[in-house]
Structure 1
Amino acid sequence: MVDLEASGSSSRRHRVVELAVVLLDRDLEPQGEFTTLVDPQGPVGPTHIHGIEPAHLAGAPRFGGIAGRLLGLLRGRVLVGHNVGCDRSFLVAEYARVGLRLPVVPELCTMRMATRYGEPGGTSYGLSLRACAAAIGVTGWRPHTALEDARATAALLAHYAPRAAGLDRLLTAAAAVRWPEPAELSGLSGADALWTARPAWAAPGNDSAPRSVPDVRNGLA
């Protein structure tokens, strides 16, 4: 399960500013959660949407610093997201900037699943994560916070999975994908940087006074 916050809508022109991964096992039970802010080396973009200000990124790694560990988290797994094509395009662009090609992996889109399985008002590109989550009773979380969005997406997948065919086939295909080898990652600048979680007060619409941002290795687990 992957969710990204970015400095804009174009993966070619804009950069990732926050990333979260929620790992699930074959039974869709949580295995771990990982999140970090990411220094976009430029403007942070729509703070009024994602709540991230330039000051929040003090000490945050650049994408190259998390690229290797992120590959390790994604290796052998199905890529799942709400409008997963958008998440994938940003990941592909960020890896291209550090000289790596992200392999083509099996993927699932919970937005398309919401349309397919008849949630109210469903259209292929018209259902927000907030709307889909509310339709299955998931409320009280902060949209546009990468980790909370990833958790909401995981809840959607668990809700739709009993009606979805071919999940075992996707998992088998994911296990066969060739990923970059460790030697290919050795030249990344700042590799294995500390992952820096968004502080709880730095949420969309939260005007609380800032506090120090803790560094965590491997994000939150």
Structure 2
Amino acid sequence: MVDIEATGSSSRRHRIVELAVVLLDRERRPHGEFSTLVDPGSPVGPTHIHGIEQHHLIRAPRFAQIAPRLLGLLRGRVLVGHNVGCDRAFLAAEYARVGVELPQVPELCTMRLAQEHLPSSPYGLSLRACAAAAGLPSWAAHTALGDARASGQLLARCSPEDDGRLAEAQAVRWPRLPRTPGDDAVWIGRSGRAGDRAPGDTSASQAAEGNDPASRMVAIVRNGGA
């Protein structure tokens, strides 16, 4: 699962200001998650929507500093999100700025899945409306990690059987970015701590209720695995 918050609605003119990834296993169960604020090098944009203010980004990495590690997370996986085409467009634009072409990978859009598998909602197809139609608990919307978690739960409710997307994703050839010392910047969640959580971490699970990622590191993520 991938979710981003951005400084605006245009992937060409605006930048990512927060990013989250929730790793799911074949049974759609989360087995690792992490998130970070991202310094866009510009004003943060609609604070009234995403709640991020300029001073929150003092310790945040730039996208170029998280790009190699993020590639390791996405490699070999189906790209899933709510209105996933928008998330992919922003990711592709950010990678283009560091000279990398994001490969075409299989995608699943939870917005379209909800439209196909859930009762229609009078409130539209927003993540909040689709989650309500699926009977999911409420969360702090427009936080990248909270939205990614909610999208993962929505996928579990609406997910089709494996149709070969995963095998196709694992066959995609991904570029590799060389790491430099600056690429080891800590991913800073909204709590101001490292935005990674290991599966089974009780303190992190409790913090999840407030979208406050814990500081435990996910070993396979640190080493570029996915």
3-state SS of 2:20 partner: strand
Cα 1:189/1:97, change in 2 over 3 Å: farther
In the alignment, which residue of structure 1 is the partner of 2:29? 29
Question: RMSD of the TM alignment (CA)?
Answer: 1.7
Structure 2 counterpart SS, 1:28 = coil
Structure 1's consecutive aligned runs of 4 or more residues displaced over 4 angstroms after TM superposition are: none
3-state secondary structure, aligned to 2:168: helix
Question: Does the 8 Å contact 1:8/1:15 carry over to 2?
Answer: yes
Deviations 1:124-173 (A, max 9, x none): xx400001111111123000000010000000100012xx24x2400000
Q: Match for 1:9: what amino acid? A: S
Equivalent residue for 1:142, pick from 117, 140, 143? 140
Amino acid at match of 2:175: P
Partner of 2:39: 39
Between the aligned partners of 1:138 and 1:118, the Cα distance in structure 2 is 12
1:10-59 CA distance string (max 9 Å, x none) = 00000000000000011111110110000000010000000000000011
Would the aligned equivalents of 1:50 and 1:144 in 2 still touch at CA under 8 Å?
yes
Any unmatched runs of 5+ in structure 1? 200-212
Cα distance, 1:191 vs structure 2: 1.6
Classify the secondary structure of the residue corresponding to 2:92. helix
Q: Are the structure 2 counterparts of residues 93 and 32 from structure 1 closer, same or farther at C-alpha, using a change threshold of 3 Å?
A: same
Structure 1 CA distance for aligned equivalents of residues 85 and 181 of structure 2: 27
Q: Deviations over 1:90-148 (max 9, x none)?
A: 0000000011111110000000011112422389xx40000111111112300000001
Whole-angstrom distance in 2 between the partners of 1:102 and 1:155? 26
Q: Identity of paired residues, percent?
A: 65
Q: Offset of 1:190 from its aligned partner?
A: 2.7
Letter in 1 for 2:28: L
Kindly provide the amino acid, as one letter, of the partner of residue 144 in structure 2: A
Q: How many residues align?
A: 198
Match of 1:220 in 2: 197
Q: Aligned to 1:22, what secondary structure does the other structure show?
A: strand
The answer to whether residue 8 in structure 2 is matched with residue 8 in structure 1 is yes
Q: TM-score, normalised by structure 1?
A: 0.85
What does residue 152 of structure 1 align with? Answer: 150
Q: Which runs of 5+ in 2 are unaligned?
A: 199-226
